[in-house]
Every structure is written in C-alpha cells, then in structure tokens.
Amino acid sequence: MPNPLSYLTDQLENWRQAGTYQRLRVLESACLPVANFDGREVIHLASNNYLGLADHPKLVEAECEAARKYGAGSGAVRTISGTMSLHMELERRIAAFKNVEACVVFQSGFAANAGTVAAILTPEDHIISDELNHASIIDGCRLSKAKIHVFRHRDAAHAEEKLAALADTPGRKLLITDGVFSMDGDIGALPQLTELAERYGAIMMVDDAHASGVLGRNGRGTVDHFNLHGRVHIQVGTLSKAVGVLGGYVCGSRDLIEFLYHRARPFLFSTSHPPAVAAACIAAFEILEKEPERIEKLWSNTRFFQKGLHENGLSTGASETPITPIMVGEAAMAHAFSRALFEEGVYATGIGYPTVPQGKARIRTIVTAAHTEDVLSRAIEIIARVAKRMGIVAHMAAN
Ligand SMILES: *Cc1c(COP(=O)(O)O)cnc(C)c1O
C-alpha cells in the first residue's frame, strides 16, 4: 500500500528545492541579547523579548515560589476547577493597568484572538479586517463563520467604504486591526478606525500583541498611545512578548469578560496556565509599572539600530516600532541571507511567502532593551557586510 501521507514528503522536497525549507534553530541558553543557538554564540535579533524580561530574576523567582507553593500545574480548565487565586490576581492586575473594567487571561495571544472573535460573532455578522491582520484574527474570523470584508492595509477610507456598503445589511459589525503589525512594524490606523466604528455603530477591537509593553505609558498599548481610552471595546494583548512569559488577554467591559468566561472555547476547553506562569506575569507588570526606563531603552536602541541600517543603504520598510524588517525581495534570498548572517554571528529570521506577500521577503529583526549599543553596532556591521556581499543593497537600489 502507498503511504497516504506521501504528499507531505513531496511538499517538503519542493520546499527544499525552492530554498524555503526551514530547520528549527535550537536555543541552548536563556533568551539573551547574545544567545547560544545550535552550538554557536550569536547576537539574538529574532525574539519578541522586547524588554529583556524573559530571564529577569524577579520573574524567575516568582515562578519558583509559585511552583513550590501551588505546584506545577492547575489541574483543570478554568471553568471546572482550574481557576487559581493567581489567575484572578493577574486578571485584576491587568485590568487596573489597562484602566478597564475587566480582563480575561487565555493560554496564549492566539487563543485570546481566535477565541474572542469566534465567541462574540455568528454567521449573520460582519467582520471588517485589515489585510495584514495576524493569523489568529483570521482564524477567529473563519471560526465565527461571520462574513469577512478585508480592507487595504491601514486604509481607513477603504474600511469606511466597506462599512458604508453594509450600513443597511443586518448583523453586527466588528472592525478589527492589529495595534502594531508583526511583520512590518507599522502602527494600525486605530484613531481613524475608532471614529468609523463610532459613526457606523461597529464593535472596535485591537490586537496589541506587539504594542503591549512597547507603546503607550508604561507599555499600556495603542489605546493609551493614541489616547482612545473608553472608545475601543475590545483590547487584546499578549503576555508572551514584552511581558516575557506566555499567555494572552482580553480587556473590556465586565459583561464582555463574563460572556467570554461562558463562551470562549479555549477558556472552556483547554487547561489554564500553571501557577508559575501567572506569578511571573504578575511580576512582569510590577516591573512595567516601576521601570519605564526599560521601555525608553528599547526605543533608543531601536533608533540607534535603524539609523545604522539606513546609513548602510538598507531598507527597513514601513517600520515605526522596534520590529525592524530588512527588505530583501525573494523568499529564497531572505533565507540565504539569514543563514549567512548566522554563520557570521547574527541571528535574524528570514520571512517569505506565505507569511508576507510574494516579492516582499525580508529578514525580520527586533532589538530589545537588553541589547547594548556595542552589540548593536557589531550587528549593524555584520548585516551591512553580508548584505553587500550578497548584493542586497544593490537589490534595494534597483527597486
Ligand atoms: C504573536 C502575536 C499573537 C499571538 O500571541 P501569542 O501569545 O504568541 O500566542 C497575536 N497577534 C499578533 C499580532 C501577534 O504578533
């Protein structure tokens, strides 16, 4: 009998031929600014550990203490018996931080987005969504079976066209955007979209995965950054990026959160965080509130790094945040660039189709507050040298 999974083997072979097959790089140290991957010490520009909290002693200590006191696991889903006092404390803490009525924590940002969109909409409803929104939003939209209307990236006028066309159509309307876009590092059109949501009676939702801990006072996100307090109905954030641990959360009205307690499927059907995770997140929020200088350092490092790349003729695309793509063009070239950089001591991931559109492949870098300018200077020098050798600077000039 032929192997019924042989088509997978064929697909893998195609990717190898195309140069887009990716082996997993294995991290053998903590997630440090200079880290060990695959037996090599490299400048680590591939994490989302914006504030360097992933190995912060206070978080690690909080984890150990919680594990000793409450054990390794919670034992159940939240709605059965897996709601621990630490989960409730974390939710109260985040709600206070974000200045909203209530908060629910999910196992991941992915679960928060997909679980929320799928829970609050039905097939009779409509979603108006930025074309570059994150996969977890797209999956939530699909799971909800609501009708999906995609507007051009950050194009509020196009979003308005969609809303206007739906004005007489029954069903709820959800307007949704990433706060910061994960592949380009540009900021969503939240102020304009919020105004549209108000004008057309739509629900406004923002996914602040890359804005949490990065934008707004003490990292409160895009709603704070744009001073839109009380006007965005649903704010999603992640605990897996700047917060340095794992998880996602939804902030909004008390009734929204109570509804999600009853209907969000990842909340109902998947076990809650180990107590250590909740404790580490609580410690991280304490640091966000007490040490805003970490965020300042993140931004000054970002300016330093991007300026250095520009001075070497490299394009960082549309980036307005610490997410710094270095535009390359073709996917195979991006992966080759990434591999060559790794050999020279810099780890930055190559990203191509289907994660980004054809012809817009790039390596994606993120500096953190933990990098020093010395280390970043070294990274700039290596990136510029390898890019030149591979003709990448010339490629951008030709465009
Ligand atoms: C990373 C990311 C998520 C998912 O967050 P996790 O906590 O890693 O599951 C959701 N939305 C966006 C925009 C992201 O970049």
184 lines ligand 1 (CB under 6 A): no
210 a catalytic residue: yes
Distance between CA 397 and CA 382 in Å, rounded?
20
Q: Looking at the structure, do residues 259 and 274 belong to the same domain, yes or no?
A: yes
Protein residue whose Cα sits closest to atom 12 of ligand 1? 209
Q: Looking at the structure, do residues 62 and 32 belong to the same domain, yes or no?
A: no
Q: Looking at the structure, do residues 77 and 222 belong to the same domain, yes or no?
A: yes
- 9 located within any domain: no
Q: Looking at the structure, do residues 36 and 113 belong to the same domain, yes or no?
A: no
- 2 located within any domain: no
Protein residue whose Cα sits closest to atom 5 of ligand 1? 109
Pocket test for ligand 1, best of 182, 239, 351 (most atoms within 8 A of CB): 182
388 a catalytic residue: no
Protein residue whose Cα sits closest to atom 14 of ligand 1? 209
- 11 located within any domain: no
148: β partners: 127
- 3 located within any domain: no
**What is the domain-level CATH number for residue 316?**
3.90.1150.10
- Please identify which of the residues 153, 210, 233, 335 carries the catalytic annotation: 210
321 lines ligand 1 (CB under 6 A): no
Maximal C-alpha separation, the chain: 64
Q: Looking at the structure, do residues 226 and 360 belong to the same domain, yes or no?
A: no
- Please identify which of the residues 87, 134, 241, 360 carries the catalytic annotation: 241
What number of other Cβ atoms are within 10 A of residue 9's Cβ? 10
147-151 and 346-347 strand pairing: unpaired
- 324 located within any domain: yes
- Please identify which of the residues 74, 108, 136, 182 carries the catalytic annotation: 182
Atom number in ligand 1 closest to CA 134: 13
Q: How far is the CA of 50 from the centre of ligand 1 (A)?
A: 14
- 5 located within any domain: no
**What is the domain-level CATH number for residue 186?**
3.40.640.10
Question: Which of 290, 317, 337 lies at the terminal end of a domain, its last residue?
Answer: 290
- 37 located within any domain: yes
Distance between CA 329 and CA 18 in Å, rounded?
15
113 lines ligand 1 (CB under 6 A): yes
Q: Looking at the structure, do residues 243 and 273 belong to the same domain, yes or no?
A: yes
Domains identified in the chain, total number: 2
Q: Looking at the structure, do residues 83 and 205 belong to the same domain, yes or no?
A: yes
Q: How far is the CA of 114 from the centre of ligand 1 (A)?
A: 11
182 a catalytic residue: yes
Angle of helix 275-290 relative to helix 293-311, nearest 10 degrees, comes to 80
Distance between CA 396 and CA 328 in Å, rounded?
7
Distance between CA 291 and CA 246 in Å, rounded?
20
207 lines ligand 1 (CB under 6 A): yes
109 lines ligand 1 (CB under 6 A): yes
Q: Looking at the structure, do residues 385 and 298 belong to the same domain, yes or no?
A: yes
What number of other Cβ atoms are within 10 A of residue 271's Cβ? 14
Q: Looking at the structure, do residues 116 and 204 belong to the same domain, yes or no?
A: yes
Question: Which of 290, 310, 334 lies at the terminal end of a domain, its last residue?
Answer: 290
Protein residue whose Cα sits closest to atom 7 of ligand 1? 109
**Read out DSSP for 268-279?**
HHSBPPPHHHHH
Q: Looking at the structure, do residues 108 and 125 belong to the same domain, yes or no?
A: yes
Q: Looking at the structure, do residues 82 and 29 belong to the same domain, yes or no?
A: no
Question: Which of 290, 323, 354 lies at the terminal end of a domain, its last residue?
Answer: 290
**Read out DSSP for 278-304?**
HHHHHHHHHHHHH-THHHHHHHHHHHH
Q: How far is the CA of 375 from the centre of ligand 1 (A)?
A: 27
Structure token digits, residue 113: 């987005």
Q: Looking at the structure, do residues 259 and 121 belong to the same domain, yes or no?
A: yes
178 lines ligand 1 (CB under 6 A): yes
Per-residue model confidence (pLDDT) at position 397: 44
Per-residue model confidence (pLDDT) at position 398: 41
- Mean pLDDT, 10 residues at a time, over the chain (399 residues)? 94 90 93 98 98 98 98 98 98 98 98 98 98 94 96 98 97 98 96 98 98 97 98 98 98 98 97 98 98 97 98 95 95 93 97 87 96 98 96 58
49 lines ligand 1 (CB under 6 A): no
Structure token digits, residue 273: 């965080």
110 lines ligand 1 (CB under 6 A): yes
- What residues make up the domain containing 94? 57-290
Q: How far is the CA of 311 from the centre of ligand 1 (A)?
A: 31
**Read out DSSP for 21-49?**
--PPP-B-S-S-SEEEETTEEEEE-----
Q: How far is the CA of 248 from the centre of ligand 1 (A)?
A: 8
- 121 located within any domain: yes
